[in-house]
Structure formats: C-alpha cells, structure tokens
Structure 1
Amino acid sequence: MKFTFKHIRTSLKPNGLQSVLKVGVVAILLALVVTGCKVGDPYQRPEFEDVSADYYQASDSLQTDTIAAKMAMNDSILLSSIPWKQYIKDTLLTSLIDTALVRNIDLNKALQNMQIGLEQLEQSKANLYPSLNSNPAGFRRDYYSQNYNNYGSNRARRNHSEEDVPTSLYTERLEYTMALESSWEADIWGKLRWKKESARAQYMKTQEFKKAVQTALIAEVSSTYYNLLMLKAQLAVAQQNFQLNDSTLRIVRLQYDAGETTSLAMRQTQSQMLKSKSLIPQLEREYTIMENRLNSLLGRSPRPIEINKQLGDVNFQQEYGTGVPLDLIRNRPDVAISEYELISSNAQVGVAEAMKYPSLTISASAGLNSYQLKNLLDPVNSGFALLNGALFQPIFNNRKLKTNYRVAMAQREIAQLNFKDKLIDAVGDVSNALATIDKLEEEYEIAQDRIVVTRQGLKDAALLFKSGFANYLEVITAQSDALESELYLIQIKKQILIANIELYRSLGGGWK
C-alpha cells in the first residue's frame, strides 16, 4: 500500500517557491527523525566452546623436546607474522615467487574481483544519498480522438492557439520541458545501512580471497621448487648408481670371459644395470613436467629454469612460535572469509527485517515547461517545481517478507556453522603440520643412519666381490639397497621442507 503524503506542483514565483521549500524542509526533517529506528542486531563474533585453546599435541607420541613442540610453546615471535621473504631466504626461490605475484593468472583474477567488490561497496554507499538526474530537453505531444474525455476544453485550447483541430484526432497535450529531477529514500529502519554493511563484508571477502590466493601461490611455488631440487638430487644419485652398476657389469663380464662365473650372473647383472639406467629418463621426465608446472605458476609458457642450489643446502629456522588457535581468525584468509560471510549474512537479516516495515521516498523536480517553444526559457512564467512524498507499506506480501526474513535467519545460522567448521579445520591443519614435521624429523634421522649402513655395506660388498668372497647377487643387493636409501633420504628431506611451508601456510603466513 502506498500513501502520497504531499504532492505540490507550482510555478517558481515567490509564494509558490516558498511553499515548496517549507514542505520539503518538513518532509526531510521528518525523515531524519525516524532514520534512527534501525532494526537488526549488530554483529558479534560467536564464541565456540568446542574449539581448543591450543594446538593438539599427543603426549605419548610427541616428545616435548621436538622441534614442533618447541614451536608450539614459543610465543615470542609468531611464525605467521614473519614476512615470506624473511622466512624463505633462498634468493632464486624468492625471485620466482616475485615473478608469480606479478604474473600469475589466478592472482590477477583475484585482484579484478577485489576491484569489482570495491565498486559494489561504493555503489551501496551511494544508495544513502539522493539521486540527481537531468532532462536537458524534452518534447511531448499526445494525440487523442474526438470521443476522448474532456474533448471540448481541449478543442477550445487548441482553437486559442489558432491550430486546426483534426477531424478524428486532436492534440491533447503539447509540452516542451527542461528539468532537474531528484529522489531520496529515507533509511528509516536501516535497510540501506545494512546493505552497505553487507557490501563491505563482501568487499573484505575479496581482499581475503586475494590473500588466500597469494598464500596458496607462495606455498605451491615453493613446493614445486623443492620438488625440482629433489628430482635434481635423485637424478644425480641415479646417474652415479648407473655408473656403479655399469662398472660391476664390466667386472662380471671379465669373470665370465675367464670362466669364473656363469652367463646367468652376467645376465642378472646386466638387467640390474638396465634397471638403474631406466630410472634416469623417468626422473628427467618428471623434472620437465615439474618445471613446466612452475612456469605455469609464473604465468608464462614452458622454458628452462636454471637451478644451481642443492636440496641439502635448504633449511628453515625453528625459532618462531605458532601462537594459539584464535590467532587463525585474523591470520588465515580462508577463516577470515568465512567470518565475513557470517557478517554479510547477519546484515542480510537486518535487510530482510527492515523490508517488513514502511519505506519513505521523497522526490522532487524543478525546471521549465511550456506549450510553446518560444516561451520555454521564461523562468517566471514557465518555471515549475514538483515535490512528492510516498510512504509504502507492504500488506498482502507479508507472508513473502516473513519467509525471506526466516530464510535469512537460517542462512545466518549456516554461515555461523561454516565459520566454526573452517576454524576447526584450520586448527587441525596446524596440528597436522606440527605432527608431520616432528615425525619427518625422526624419520630423517633414521634414514641418515640407514645411509651410513648401506654405504658401508656397498663398500664391503665391492671389496669382497673383488676378493672372491662375495658373489654378484650380494653386490646387486647392496647396490639396490644403497640406491633405495639414497632416494628415500632425498624424498624425506623434500617432505620436511614442504611440511615447513605447509605449517607457514596453515598459520596464515605468506600474504604480508
């Protein structure tokens, strides 16, 4: 239901203009008085009792002297607050990340989404202010039949202008217009302010999404780089092992030619050599694919990447603290995104509730109009002013508005559950990363001990074989065991580096 509380159209003569101004001031003051009636509840961050106050540490499996445990207890400098260039000190890797931050396609898409969000926020702010439009030149001429209502007076008017009246049609209205038009909706119940708050939350989501993309990009570039270092190290080991197997094959051939061994020994030794040789193109293929993946992250077509660093030269400092789980709300972009979604949903509840109450719209226009073009620019006789005020109250669509409000309430509850779920997942990510680093460090120490044993076993097997105290099977077994332990140690080292990157990412680092 719509009620027009005031409608004035007058010429711009002193008395008429004063009446328009008086009514306009009264209407605006009335609107300003009632704009303080904002409905809806301001956002307050929920408290989740089910979210732990600290990261999970299993006392029966993780010792307090492990690296991860020390990080969890050290609160002096939070790892998430360390800029990524300070955390990743490899100059080549930082150069690659810098390139990715400029040229990566997904990150540039996120920047454009931020711009879209900013524009939508500015538009929501503009809804609070009056709109102003101009009609610099207007012409209107309406034709009606002789049977049209009030024909006589119109025919008389047309005769007065000394124009012939058509037999079947006559000009009912002829008007030339120049005008400025303005309208303003009074934000009585806070609907527009809630819309602005929702738009602000959506814009902040785009900022956090950009941070999330940057964090993930830094982590993926780093992981791909460490995979290249791993493949490079494994390729060197495979080439050394192939040369070793080839040397063993030459010795077995000499023994076969001298009648000291059988053809079976020579064939098995040759098979072992070919097996070690086939590993080289496999690793080279994986290296090329990983190199192309890194180029894709850098936003460019495949090309060689010169890497001079060795995997064993890369290490991370463990002198930083992890903080507490609630730090993840402000540090992790994905957790912040879920909270901004909750803020936006809360604002939409306010919008839905405000829609159930009356809305007040005030519109005004002023300009010049005349039935004759030559008199249009006469401000005294052709000037006009129009003021409208409309109060709109929904009645028969109340069920629809009530449904929208209840749906908005349910969507807010879903958003709150999503926020809680994301926070729990984030805490789990950090706990998993801490446990992974701990166990990988233990595994790495065992792998190093195994390397010592297999290398010594390889030397012993070679000496015994040359002395005739060991057969070719023992040599092949020793070489295979040594190769496996070398590749395994490199693999664990790579996993430790990636686990440190994952801990940094899971704590919300990488976007500062």
Structure 2
Amino acid sequence: MNNIDIRKICLVGVVALLMLNSCVPTKTIRKANTVVPTRYDNQRIDSVNTVMMSWKDYFSDEKLIALIDSALVKNQELNIMSQQLNIAKNEIQAKKGEYLPFVNVYTGADVDKVGAYTRNGAVEKNLNVYENEAFPEPLANYTLGLSASWELDIWKKLRNGKKAAVLDYLGTVEGKNFMITNLVSEIANTYYELIALDNQLLMIEQNLKIQIKAQKMVHLQKEYARVTQLAVRRFDAEVLKNQSNIYEVRQKIVEAENKINFLLGRYPQHVQRDSDNFIEKVIDPVAAGIPSQLLANRTDIRQAELELAMLKLNTKIAKANFYPSIGLKAGVGLEVFKPKYLLNVPESLLYSLGGDIAGPLINRRAIKADYFSANNRQLQAVFDYEKTILNAFIEVTNELSNIENLRRNYDLKAKQVAALTESIDLSMRLFRSARAEYTEVLLTQREALDSKIEIIETKKEQLLANVKVYKALGGGWK
C-alpha cells in the first residue's frame, strides 16, 4: 500500500467522522430574567445604601465587634470553607494542565531470552551487530528517553473545563463571603437576644421586689381581717410564679451564651456584653438604596450567577464530546543492548511521531444523555438565579416594612409601660385605703410586668430587624 492510498484512507476517515458529528443535537436555553423593580415599596429612589458600610462601622457596640472579630478567625465552619476554597484553586491548576502537552522521562532495563529454533533466535544467532560481536544471550535491553502526548483542543473542551474551574473557584469565594455574612448576622442576633434576656431578668427581679412588698402588705391586712385567705394565697402564687420565671430566663441566658461560644469555636464561658441602657439604645435609620444594587452586593446572587456561567461552559463541554478528539504522540531516546553503546549516536537513537483521530460511533446515546442533562442543569441554574434575586428583593421589602411597624409598635408600647408603671403605685395606695380590691393590685402588677417584658422584646426585634435588613441588602462580608 503506497502513501497515496494511506492518505485516501485517512481522508475518508476524517470525512466519515465529520459526517457523524454533523448531527449533533442543539438546545437553546433562555436567558435569566434579572429585571427588578426600580424601588422598594413605600421607599423613595435613592442610591445611598447602608450596605456600603463595613460591619465594624454598622455595629457600634465594641463588645459585639470583638466577638465578631474572634469568630472570623476561629469559627470552624468558616475554616472548613477556606479549605474548600484552596481545593477549588487547586482544581484550576489541574484543569490548566490538561490542555498542555504531557512530557514524561523514562528509563528502563529488561532481559529477554528467545528460543534458538525460532525466527528471532535464528536471526540473533547468525547476526553480528557491532565489530564482529554477536548478540549476547540472554539479550538485555536498556532504554532512556522522553515521550510526549498532546490532545489538540480544537473544540475548546479542555479550555472550557479550565474556565469552568475558575468560575467554580469564584463561586466558592462568594459562598465563603455569604457564610461570613450569615456568621456576622447570627452573632449579632444572638448578642442582642442575650442582652434582651439580661434586661428581662433584671425587670423580673425588680418587679418581684414590688410584688414581695405587696405580698407582705396583704399578709398584714389578713391579720386585721381586711382581706381573706384567698387574697393571700393569690399573692403568694404570683410571687412564686415570677421566682420560677427567673430560672427559666437564666437557662435561656446560658444557652444564648453557649451559642455565641460555639460560633467563636470555644468552650462555654462568660460572654462579655453591654446590657446597660438597653431600652434607650438608639437605632439608626437604614438607607436601602435601589433594588438593582442587590445584584452587586448580595453574595448569594453573585454565587448563583457564577454557577450559571459555569454550567453554561459545562454544556459546551458536553457538546464537544460529540466531536472527534485529535491527539499527537512523539518520543525520542536511546536504546541499546549494552550500556557502553548508549552514547553511540545515531546507532542507539530511536524516535517516533504519530497522531490519531477518535470519535464516538456506537455510544452516542450516552453522550446525548449527558448533553441533555447538562442543559437541564443549566436551566435549573437559570431558575435558581431568578429565585435568588426574587428572594433577596422580598427579604429587603419585608424587613423595611418590619422596621417601620416596629417603630410605631415601640412608641405605643412605651406609652403603655408608662401608664401601667404609674398605675402600680396608684393601685397600692388605693388598696391601703380600702378603695381598691386586691385583684386590681394583682392584675395591675401582672400587666405592668408583661408590658415591660413586651417592650424589651420589641426593642430586641427592632435591633434584630436592623441586622436582618443589613444582611438582606448584602452587608456583613466586607
């Protein structure tokens, strides 16, 4: 077979492969809808955005800042995520190496003894190879050389794999930033819950002192037959109830402290905090900016966007599997049967050069399934991206509404507390002068305590709402 015949066969093979791959399926995936409203409900359009503040500037409590600083260094989940980031970075290097030539150095030695009454044995027996020296028996073989192989990435399958690895790494970075946002938010939320519990405990203890005074007065009036045993027992029960509530609140304080300790990666210990003047804490207004800023500020949105871009590349990679792969192989080295001849060039020199084209023929159904699955995953990512944007917008809208309603709620609660606090003293004076029933005193004290607990809860909810809106806007990771 001459060279012309070989070229014809190769040409026919290439044409056949190209014809097979001309029937590659295609599927168009719609683009993600990233259009958001121009403003939030009942908010004026203003590009000023609180999220531009770092969390150290957003939170004014120095003890809270110290806790967050410690958590960003010692939190185990965050450190696990950092290692995941390193793994993704290593994957980029691995993918980058796949589309570069592979070059290997090799050396070897072996011994071969063939039978004398065989073709190879007869040849070796009657042939002098060098300076009238016959083949040694057994025959040794020594090799030293380089080999190279390279897959020509004409369909960009390998390069797209590297780009997908880069996008995966960037998505992991955004995932870590989102974890930081959640960690900062969770520590701030728990911290405010903890100081609210401190104030609830203080309020119960203060109210208990008032109730004990009223209890002693009722016992004294019982001695003078001004009230019945029923009044005494009801006051006793109310005092016991609030004494038991103290232990419930103390348990909640322990659990809140240990939640913070866990987030800081440390064993249970006292959490430094500033619980004074809780009710008087000033809550700064929040500037929400415009909704389109969420696309740049929310790390979960950016992560979803990067994941979509990565899956688009994976779809291209799956499509490239329909096309033939072209590879080149080459080698150069030295091969002798005695080491002393190793440097006798060109007699000891060997080299090779070749190429191959391979394409799918029988197993196309499996490749089609992989391609369609890649398209489906890409469409899933489109929906996930849109869902993440929608969820972000709704979260911000809910928290902005919550902040406004809590502000109005707090103003009314403050008036309620003032009225009921004043009524405690009035009910006691009226009771002493027999102008009020003991039940009025009892109910007034109970309602006053409940209103004080409620205003502490409302203040806590106000602080938590400010944390949540900061998180919803995309703050906390910078």
Provide TM-score, normalisation by structure 2.
0.88
Residues 493 and 181 of structure 1: CA distance in aligned 2, closer, same or farther (over 3 Å): same
| Residue in structure 2 matched with residue 96 of structure 1 by the alignment | 67
What CA distance in whole angstroms lies between the structure 2 residues aligned with 1:236 and 1:223?
20
Amino acid at match of 1:117: A
| Residue in structure 1 matched with residue 379 of structure 2 by the alignment | 413
Matched, 1:393 2:355: no
- Once the two structures are superposed, the pairs formed by residues 62-73 of structure 1 within 5 Å of their partners are 69=43, 73=45
What CA distance in whole angstroms lies between the structure 1 residues aligned with 2:209 and 2:127?
112
Of residues 12, 24, 33, the one that matches 1:47 is: 33
What CA distance in whole angstroms lies between the structure 2 residues aligned with 1:223 and 1:257?
51
Report the Cα offset of residue 46 of structure 1: 3.1
What CA distance in whole angstroms lies between the structure 1 residues aligned with 2:395 and 2:148?
55
Q: Please state whether the residue corresponding to 2:148 is helix, strand or coil.
A: strand
What CA distance in whole angstroms lies between the structure 2 residues aligned with 1:403 and 1:418?
22
| Residue in structure 1 matched with residue 308 of structure 2 by the alignment | 342
Matched, 1:317 2:287: no
| Residue in structure 2 matched with residue 217 of structure 1 by the alignment | 183
- CA deviation string 1:202-249 (max 9, x = no partner): 101110110011000000000010001100000000000111111111
Amino acid at match of 1:317: D
| Residue in structure 2 matched with residue 179 of structure 1 by the alignment | 145
Of residues 247, 257, 261, the one that matches 2:227 is: 261
- CA deviation string 1:37-91 (max 9, x = no partner): xx99999963345x43433x2xxxxxx5xxxx3xx53323x12221111111111
What CA distance in whole angstroms lies between the structure 2 residues aligned with 1:138 and 1:328?
62
| Residue in structure 1 matched with residue 47 of structure 2 by the alignment | 75
What CA distance in whole angstroms lies between the structure 2 residues aligned with 1:291 and 1:427?
32
Any conservation in 2 of the 1:40–1:350 contact (CA below 8 Å)?
Answer: no
What CA distance in whole angstroms lies between the structure 2 residues aligned with 1:236 and 1:145?
101
Any conservation in 2 of the 1:189–1:354 contact (CA below 8 Å)?
Answer: yes
Matched, 1:138 2:108: yes
Residues 300 and 396 of structure 1: CA distance in aligned 2, closer, same or farther (over 3 Å): same
Residues 148 and 361 of structure 1: CA distance in aligned 2, closer, same or farther (over 3 Å): farther
Structure 1: segments with no counterpart, 5+ residues = 7-38, 58-63, 165-170
Matched, 1:153 2:123: yes
Residues 396 and 357 of structure 1: CA distance in aligned 2, closer, same or farther (over 3 Å): same
Residues 127 and 355 of structure 1: CA distance in aligned 2, closer, same or farther (over 3 Å): same
Residues 380 and 231 of structure 1: CA distance in aligned 2, closer, same or farther (over 3 Å): same
What CA distance in whole angstroms lies between the structure 2 residues aligned with 1:483 and 1:157?
113
| Residue in structure 2 matched with residue 113 of structure 1 by the alignment | 84
Report the Cα offset of residue 459 of structure 1: 1.6
| Residue in structure 2 matched with residue 369 of structure 1 by the alignment | 335
- CA deviation string 1:306-358 (max 9, x = no partner): 3234323543421x532333322221111112111111110011111111112
What CA distance in whole angstroms lies between the structure 1 residues aligned with 2:111 and 2:225?
119
| Residue in structure 1 matched with residue 324 of structure 2 by the alignment | 358
What CA distance in whole angstroms lies between the structure 1 residues aligned with 2:341 and 2:462?
87
Of residues 444, 447, 462, the one that matches 2:413 is: 447
Any conservation in 2 of the 1:245–1:276 contact (CA below 8 Å)?
Answer: no
Q: Please state whether the residue corresponding to 2:331 is helix, strand or coil.
A: strand
How large is the Cα RMSD of the aligned pairs?
2.6
Residues 258 and 317 of structure 1: CA distance in aligned 2, closer, same or farther (over 3 Å): same
Of residues 431, 441, 464, the one that matches 1:498 is: 464
Residues 467 and 392 of structure 1: CA distance in aligned 2, closer, same or farther (over 3 Å): same
What CA distance in whole angstroms lies between the structure 1 residues aligned with 2:248 and 2:331?
78
Residues 404 and 145 of structure 1: CA distance in aligned 2, closer, same or farther (over 3 Å): farther
What CA distance in whole angstroms lies between the structure 1 residues aligned with 2:458 and 2:360?
67
Q: Please state whether the residue corresponding to 2:291 is helix, strand or coil.
A: coil
Any conservation in 2 of the 1:87–1:316 contact (CA below 8 Å)?
Answer: no
Report the Cα offset of residue 134 of structure 1: 1.7
Residues 156 and 485 of structure 1: CA distance in aligned 2, closer, same or farther (over 3 Å): farther
Amino acid at match of 2:32: P
Amino acid at match of 1:114: L
Q: Please state whether the residue corresponding to 2:149 is helix, strand or coil.
A: strand
Structure 2: segments with no counterpart, 5+ residues = 7-24
Report the Cα offset of residue 450 of structure 1: 0.9
Of residues 347, 350, 362, the one that matches 1:381 is: 347
Residues 81 and 41 of structure 1: CA distance in aligned 2, closer, same or farther (over 3 Å): farther
- CA deviation string 1:427-481 (max 9, x = no partner): 1111111111111112111111111111121121111112221122111100000
Report the Cα offset of residue 374 of structure 1: 2.2
Of residues 250, 267, 282, the one that matches 1:284 is: 250
Of residues 112, 128, 139, the one that matches 2:99 is: 128
Amino acid at match of 1:54: R
Identity in percent: 30
What CA distance in whole angstroms lies between the structure 2 residues aligned with 1:89 and 1:241?
30
What CA distance in whole angstroms lies between the structure 2 residues aligned with 1:259 and 1:148?
132
